[in-house]
Amino acid sequence: MVYEIKNTKYKIKVDSFGAELKSFSLKNEEYLYLGDSKYWHRSSPVLFPIVGRLKNNNYIYNNKNYTLPIHGVARHQEFLLKDQNDTTLSFVLKENEQTIKHYPFNFELTLTYTLEDQGLKINYTVRSDEEILFSLGAHPAFLLKAPIDESFFSFEKVENQDAIGLNLEYGCICDVKDFTLDSNTLHLEKNVFSKDALIFRDLNSKSVSLNNSVNQKSVKVSFEGFEYLAFWAPVDAPFVCIEPWCGIADHVNTNHILEEKTSIIKLQKDEVFDKSLFISLV
């Protein structure tokens, strides 16, 4: 079921299936890609309990093999509406027969969308009554408001970072570095994502904006507390994804052991994992 809230500036729609943001508009102008089969059928899935791809979609936990699809199971699950008022929509997913087959942990994953005067806050909260291992990421797709070669990302601070390399055969991390970000601006072009996503780790910046040289329309995403930031879009798509992650895909030389996975989060019993994004539109 799709739920809607709005204020004097913004309106959002969220689908309880996947707790996925399906629309984000400013003064009735849409800024979120609405999804279609031509390029990508999603708009803003939550990535849990993995980010990216496991090599051969496989991992080992307590000497037992499990399979997980790319980006995990949460985006394929129906969430329950937990709270709704004039400014907030909150959804919760708990372990069930389907998730346990692929991810043998008890968990409570809550997504809370809060409209504020300056934009949208999205909270990601994970709790458990046992120790659990997981990753979590966001994957919102924003419409380009100008041709891609007139569009660019502006970072809060000057950056000097190599993008993390991807092995296209497995969709996993490799040690090849073929792209360097060496300023506070990343200019886009048609083939910028021809080798899949551009992924950066531990950026100096805690926010990034999608801008263009044609008009003043802009999207700003603040992502403090997220270890990685990725950008992705299919070739010729009318959108680009801004993806803050806590976690990353397998390395090509993985041993598949979940406890040893790069950047895996270990949450102790009754601890709370809580991260938030803030998205503003101009």
**Domains in the chain: boundaries:** 2-281
pLDDT tens for 101-150 read 999 999 999 999 999 999 999 999 999 999 999 999 999 999 999 999 99
pTM here is: 0.97
pLDDT tens for 234-247 read 999 999 999 999 99
CATH classification for the domain delimited by 2-281, as one of 3.40.50.720, 2.70.98.10, 2.40.160.40, 3.40.50.1110: 2.70.98.10
What is the gyration radius of the CA atoms in the chain, in angstroms? Answer: 18
Of residues 216, 222, 214, 215, the one with CA closest to residue 155:
222
How high does pLDDT run on average in the chain? 96
Q: What is the pLDDT of residue 220?
A: 98
Q: Which long-range contacts (CB under 8 A, 24 or more apart) does 161-170 make?
A: 161/200, 161/201, 161/203, 163/198, 163/199, 163/200, 164/199, 164/200, 164/201, 164/228, 164/248, 166/195, 166/196, 166/197, 166/199, 166/249, 167/252, 168/195, 168/196, 170/53, 170/55, 170/56, 170/250, 170/252
Percent of the chain whose predicted confidence (pLDDT) is above 90: 95
| Contact present, 247 and 268 (Cβ < 8 Å) | no
* Displacement of CA 19 from its chain's centroid (Å): 13
- The lowest-confidence range among 90-99, 160-169, 206-215 is 160-169
- Arithmetic mean of pLDDT, 27-37: 95
